[in-house]
Amino acid sequence: MRTSPVTTLEQRVLKSIRDAGVLKPGDRVGVAVSGGADSVALLRLLETLRERLGITLAVVHFDHALRGAESDGDARFAVELARAHGLECILERAEVAAIAAKRKWNLEDAARRLRYAFFDRVVGEGRATHVAVAHTIDDQAETVLAHLLRGTGPAGLAGIYPVAGCVFRPLLEFRRQELRKYLRNLGQAWREDTTNLDVSRMRARIRAQLVPLLERDFAPLVAPRLARLARISREEESFWAALVEDRIRALVKAGEGTRTIRIRDLLAPLDLPPYGVSDTTAPQRALTERIIRRLYRDMRGEAAAPTAERVEQVIRLARESASGKAISLPGGVRVEKSFDALIFSSTRPTAAQETASKQGAYQYAVKLPGSGVASISVPELQRRFSLKVIDWSSRERDTKRGAVALDAELLQQPLVLRNWRPGDAYRPKGRQRTWKLKRLFLAGRIPSRERASWPVLESAGRVVWARGMPPADECCAGERTRRGVVIEEERL
């Protein structure tokens, strides 16, 4: 280990790491070493500063197997560099091209996904507390430009985050050129990735052609300025993320595989004065769009965002469509308008839904005991129903008069718990005539997507109970009831 005085660059990196407050004494940091100059400089910097930081180090290398002998050489270089500094080298290799083709991923996206999944495993297995990655100001500038050229909103301008999960990027305030100068002063070799010279890739063209053009003809400090723009955008996004989270907690009802929000809450998430505009929802449009994107991600289950056109579709559905209309978004996300609300759900079936689709309608016989509980598991709904037979005379003293319960003596075998069928009807408690369940669904604002599997109880072929509805009048517990039946449900 080097014993010469700390250089100016090392002092600045030390201050930057301490200011970030990510690393604590006792942490074990896996340094992601690709073999390139930036990652090698990061390792040498942290190796020099580790005693001052109170941390231990390991080298982490992911071999993408994309460049044949060159990739093999990078892996050997990382192993030898770790050995030279007395560090463990955690190495993993994956056939990224084959995996990308199988999963139909973009090659660069596949490499990134697999690499960061490897970092997550290293931390998850306890082999490191953090993984340090060597992104620089130049990488940040290139990322912002790439996002701009592909088309982005404010979130894309935030670029690369200094901390993301277990990954820490301590060099985002430093230039690529000063890292290379640092390595040359140390006499430390590194490896060049020839794919960086392949200008058929947009990122390589931005690095080799666009950034030099901007620096030469427009703004010599374009990279630091773009990095500053990214920092300001991240601060803005932190505010928006906190506000969206607050509105989600206040306005969204989470169900099993669904998220429901009232349309008026979606279009006007905050109680704001009109500010002189006729459409009071207009000033809140940005927040509405972010809530839609967040609900979409909740349903899709990964960090993906719908396009601006898809977000506009959802807003038009909320504003203009009739109840029961729905749209499908990429990634298996469905948005349905149900009366005065939007319901976001995933169209990718759960295990329970796949079982239900294979088995079709469900129907379970129920044997009612003289006392105690009859339990029926319904895997199609992922629910367990309990029919509790209780002494109603003593129970009634502890409950409100006319509590919702059935009279055990008025129920007739066979009892059957099944899903709703078109045409089901009965006379609810307190009503003078028979109602179809479809009408009760409308009155109760039950979304159409939930009706087909809605549970009902039959007694001798007659519907006497439906979830959330008043029980059948002729079977209700009353003053003469000796044994009542209360129906409860819980998740499996």
**Is residue 466 classed as helix, strand or coil in its secondary structure?**
strand
Q: Return the pLDDT at 252.
A: 96
- In order, the DSSP letters of 359-424 are H-S-EEEE---SSEEEEEEETTTTEEEEEEEEEHHHHHHTS-TT-S-EEGGG--SPEEEEE--TT-
Which phi and psi angles does 339 have, rounded to 5°?
60, -115
Q: What is the CATH T-level fold of the domain 8-233, as seen in this structure? A: Rossmann fold (3.40.50)
Q: Return the pLDDT at 413.
A: 80
- The angle at the Cα of 368, spanning 421 to 356, to the nearest 5 degrees, equals 35
Q: Return the pLDDT at 400.
A: 44
Residue 353 has pLDDT above 70, yes or no: no
Q: Return the pLDDT at 315.
A: 96
Residue 376 has pLDDT above 60, yes or no: yes
| Mean pLDDT of the 395-416 span | 71
- Rounded CA gap, 466 and 426, in Å? 10
Which range has the worst mean pLDDT, 46-50, 77-81, 185-189, 280-284? 280-284
pLDDT: is 182 or 444 the higher one?
A: 182
- From the list 160, 163, 166, the residue with the least C-alpha distance to 130 is 166
User: Token pair for residue 206?
Assistant: 């931005």
Which range has the worst mean pLDDT, 219-233, 290-304, 345-359, 469-483? 345-359
Q: Report the sign of the C-alpha dihedral through residues 78, 84, 90, 92, in that order.
A: positive
| Mean pLDDT of the 333-360 span | 72
User: Token pair for residue 186?
Assistant: 């140390």
- Rounded CA gap, 145 and 204, in Å? 12
DSSP conformational letter for 428: B
407: which strand partners? 484
- Is residue 245 within 8 A of residue 155, CB to CB? The reply is no
Q: Return the pLDDT at 153.
A: 84
User: pLDDT confidence of 277, banded at 50, 70, 90?
Assistant: low
Q: Return the pLDDT at 144.
A: 97
pLDDT: is 43 or 372 the higher one?
A: 43
Identity of the residue numbered 436: K
Quick one: the chain helix, strand, coil %, rounded to 5? 45, 20, 35
pLDDT 10s digits, 114-157: 999 999 999 999 999 999 999 999 999 999 999 999 988 888 99
Q: Return the pLDDT at 280.
A: 61
List the chain domain ranges.
8-233, 256-346, 355-491
Residue 358 has pLDDT above 70, yes or no: no
Please give the CATH number for the structural domain made up of 256-346: 3.30.465.60
Q: Return the pLDDT at 275.
A: 64
Q: Return the pLDDT at 190.
A: 97
| Mean pLDDT of the 334-355 span | 76
| Mean pLDDT of the 273-299 span | 83
pLDDT: is 146 or 300 the higher one?
A: 146
Which phi and psi angles does 268 have, rounded to 5°?
-135, 75
- Rounded CA gap, 29 and 50, in Å? 10
| Mean pLDDT of the 56-77 span | 95
- Is residue 307 within 8 A of residue 294, CB to CB? The reply is no
- Is residue 32 within 8 A of residue 134, CB to CB? The reply is yes
Q: Show contacts of 394-398: CB within 8 Å, 24+ apart.
A: 395/484, 396/481
Buried b (16+ CB within 10 A) or exposed e, 175-208: bbeebeebbeeeeeebbebeeeeeeeeebbebbe
pLDDT 10s digits, 411-462: 988 899 999 988 899 999 888 889 999 889 888 888 877 888 899 999 988 9
- Rounded CA gap, 133 and 127, in Å? 16
Q: Return the pLDDT at 276.
A: 58
- Rounded CA gap, 363 and 161, in Å? 53
pTM of the full structure: 0.71
User: pLDDT confidence of 349, banded at 50, 70, 90?
Assistant: low
